[in-house]
């Protein structure tokens, strides 16, 4: 096949204090095949985009590469930025000539000023450009906001099934195979979507969610069923379509497939709703989380996730609530990272390794960041080339300018490129030996587990008062459909709506 490939992805937090601008994409990934921008390696390292190149090469397909644009989660994208990137992508598709399929890597929860459904807008324009006969598919994050408009043009949508998102390669193969069958006239996909009125964070590595995902994958073997996605939704997205969804893609060429898809969607929606409490991640308040981590740290390294300050969900990544508690309690043999503080990084770099200086760190962006913390810091490492492995696994991401400081027995990593902790490399590349620690605090919610579980004696999720605090009732939703758990009581027996 001749495939057009492009990516335009952003997970938009409606309540984030961080504006998403062109610079946000330039600091993330902004690869333009003929127009400069990020190195091609950055695009290849982006989950889905690079994997499609691998899969296409295996199958002997020809790929025309378009834009690869991704920005760290934050507030709504500036209207002019979204429109410019969208139109750039569409122009590249038009210039690619006749194509057999379009493969897009999106997120599914992108909002721009003036657009509450960027993916729906983009997919509609892609369909208008290529016409009704060209297969179009999009790979989504499972924290997407799925809308009827995203399905209206007949695009095949597939979301990753795992959280942490370790299955992007498998999902890329899945979507490519469906598009190839469509191009050969082997199937006519249609989609059925069923809303599940709940919000939450649901890890799939263990507990009831693991069993549900396993059941879902078994059901994909049902005749006529092409793909099933359990879309968790993104709780910090304030739109009329925010929430969980079961999406079943079936072959309309099978006369019974639609009925099977409807039955499967209803059953999975019911089962997902039923485990909303047991399946959501258990989180402890700051003091209780530290108590649990210190108790577990007697047996090995305890990993404490500061999930409320996860930049991977749009938080500023400069919240000080956990750090302040550690300092006040005199905790030793601990590490914490990464704290986004470009000013403190510059001061530490100027002072140099070995210098001791008073340093005010964190607490700079807004109320959800807490107050700044004043410490007497010793600079233990300075790196401008430190990197960590991310979701794609094969490639690494730059941390920006990064320093390690030691204050009152705690090793703290500060950096200039706002991002969540994926790998212990955030610490080890700056000389911090986690094997000698009782406790390490990571600014992440779930993705860190892909690389930290192997070294963790225990993992504790902390629900500090940060921007991604799980008390969703405090958020000023204006567009959310109600009722919605956990904001409202939900009857397990209630029939969930089609879309």
The length of the chain, given as a count of residues: 499
pLDDT of residue 38: 59
Say yes or no: 185 and 71 in one domain. yes
Say yes or no: 147 and 177 in one domain. yes
CA distances for 267 relative to 179, 220, 246, 272, 493, angstroms: 27, 13, 10, 9, 12
Contacts with 83 (C-beta within 8 Å, 6 or more apart), sequence order = 112
pLDDT of residue 180: 98
Question: Token digits for 260?
Answer: 């099977």
* Number of separate domains in the chain: 2
The answer to whether the beta carbons of residues 22 and 81 sit under 8 Å apart is: yes
* 435: in domain: yes
* 211: in domain: yes
Say yes or no: 240 and 328 in one domain. no
The predicted model scores a pTM of 0.95
Indicate the residue among 253, 279, 305 that finishes a domain. Answer: 279
Say yes or no: 391 and 255 in one domain. no
Indicate the residue among 249, 279, 309 that finishes a domain. Answer: 279
Identify the CATH number of the domain in which residue 242 sits. 3.40.50.2300
* 480: in domain: no
* 492: in domain: no
* 477: in domain: no
* 229: in domain: yes
What residue ranges of the chain have pLDDT lower than 50? 497-499
CA distances for 187 relative to 39, 59, 223, 261, 461, angstroms: 37, 19, 12, 15, 44
Closest CA to 336 of 400, 404, 288, 388: 404
pLDDT of residue 132: 96
Say yes or no: 269 and 127 in one domain. yes
Question: Token digits for 66?
Answer: 């378009």
Say yes or no: 237 and 384 in one domain. no
Say yes or no: 305 and 430 in one domain. yes
pLDDT of residue 391: 81
Say yes or no: 222 and 310 in one domain. no
Say yes or no: 26 and 86 in one domain. yes
Written in H, E and C, the secondary structure of the chain is CEEEEEEEECCECCCCCCCECHHHHHHCEEEECCCEECCHHHHHCCCCHHHHHHHHHHHCCEEEEEEEEECCCECCECHHHHHHHHHHHHHHHHHCCCCCEEEEECCCCCCECCECCHHHHHHHHHHHHHCCCCCEEEEECCCCCCCHHHHHCCCEEEECCCCCCCCHHHHHHHHHHHHHHHHCCCCCEEEEEEEECECCCCCCCCHHHHHHHHHHHHHCCCCCEEEEEEECCCCCCCCCCCCEEEEEEEECCCCCHHHHHHHHHHHHHHHHHHCHHHHCCCCECHHHHHHHHHHHHCCCCEEEEEHHHCHHHCCCCCCCHHHHHHHHCCCCCEEEEEEECHHHHHHHHHHCCCCEEEEEECCCCCHHHCCCEEEEEEEEEEECCCEEECCCCCCEEECCCEEEEEECCEEEEEECCCCCCCCCHHHHCCCCCHHHCCEEEECCCCCCHHHHCCCCCEEEEECCCCCCCCCHHHCCCCCCCCCCECCCCCCCCCCCCEC
* 496: in domain: no
Contacts with 122 (C-beta within 8 Å, 6 or more apart), sequence order = 8, 86, 89, 104, 106
Say yes or no: 143 and 69 in one domain. yes
Indicate the residue among 233, 254, 279 that finishes a domain. Answer: 279
Say yes or no: 239 and 317 in one domain. no
* 141: in domain: yes
pLDDT of residue 499: 47
Say yes or no: 243 and 355 in one domain. no
Rounded to whole angstroms, the Cα distance separating 221 from 224 reads: 8
Task: Tell me which residue range forms the domain holding 179.
Answer: 2-279
């Amino acid at each position: 096949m001749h495939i057009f490939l492009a990516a335009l992805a952003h997970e938009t937090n409606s309540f984030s204090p961080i504006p998403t601008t062109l610079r946000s994409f330039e600091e993330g990934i902004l690869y333009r095949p003929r127009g400069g921008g990020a190195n091609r390696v950055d695009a290849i390292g982006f989950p889905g985009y690079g994997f499609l190149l691998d899969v296409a090469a295996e199958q002997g397909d020809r790929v025309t590469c378009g834009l690869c644009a991704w920005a760290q989660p934050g507030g709504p994208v500036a209207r002019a930025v979204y429109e410019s990137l969208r139109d750039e992508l569409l122009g590249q598709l038009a210039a690619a000539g006749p194509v057999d399929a379009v493969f897009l890597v999106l997120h599914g929860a992108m909002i721009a000023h003036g657009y509450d459904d960027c993916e729906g807008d983009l997919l509609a324009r892609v369909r208008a450009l290529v016409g009704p006969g060209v297969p179009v598919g999009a790979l989504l994050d499972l924290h997407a906001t799925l809308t009827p408009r995203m399905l209206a043009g007949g695009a095949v949508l597939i979301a990753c099934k795992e959280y942490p998102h370790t299955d992007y390669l498998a999902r890329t193969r899945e979507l490519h195979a469906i598009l190839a069958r469509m191009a050969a006239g082997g199937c006519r996909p249609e989609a059925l979507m069923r809303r599940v009125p709940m919000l939450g964070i649901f890890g799939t590595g263990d507990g009831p969610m693991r069993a549900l995902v396993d059941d879902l994958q078994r059901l994909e073997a049902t005749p006529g069923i092409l793909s099933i996605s359990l879309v968790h939704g993104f709780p910090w997205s304030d739109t009329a379509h925010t929430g969980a969804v079961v999406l079943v893609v079936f072959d309309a060429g099978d006369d019974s497939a639609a009925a099977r898809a409807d039955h499967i969607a209803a059953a999975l929606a019911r089962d997902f709703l039923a485990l909303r409490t047991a399946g959501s991640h258990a989180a402890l308040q700051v003091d209780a989380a530290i108590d649990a981590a210190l108790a577990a740290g007697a047996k090995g390294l305890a990993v404490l996730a500061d999930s409320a300050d996860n930049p991977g969900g749009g938080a500023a990544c400069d919240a000080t609530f956990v750090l302040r508690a550690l300092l006040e309690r005199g905790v030793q043999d601990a590490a914490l990272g990464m704290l986004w503080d470009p000013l403190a990084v510059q001061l530490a770099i100027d002072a140099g390794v070995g210098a001791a200086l008073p340093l005010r760190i964190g607490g700079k962006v807004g109320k959800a960041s807490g107050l700044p913390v004043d410490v007497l810091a010793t600079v233990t490492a300075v790196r401008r080339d430190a990197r960590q492995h991310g979701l794609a696994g094969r490639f690494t991401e730059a941390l920006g300018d990064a320093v390690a400081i030691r204050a009152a027995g705690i090793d703290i990593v500060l950096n200039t490129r706002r991002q969540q902790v994926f790998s212990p490399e955030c610490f080890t590349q700056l000389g911090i030996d986690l094997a000698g620690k009782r406790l390490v605090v990571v600014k992440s919610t779930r993705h860190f587990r892909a690389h930290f579980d192997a070294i963790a004696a225990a993992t504790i999720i902390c629900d500090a008062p940060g921007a991604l605090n799980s008390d969703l009732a405090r958020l000023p939703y204006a567009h959310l459909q109600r009722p919605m758990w956990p904001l409202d009581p939900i009857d397990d027996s209630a029939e969930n709506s089609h879309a």
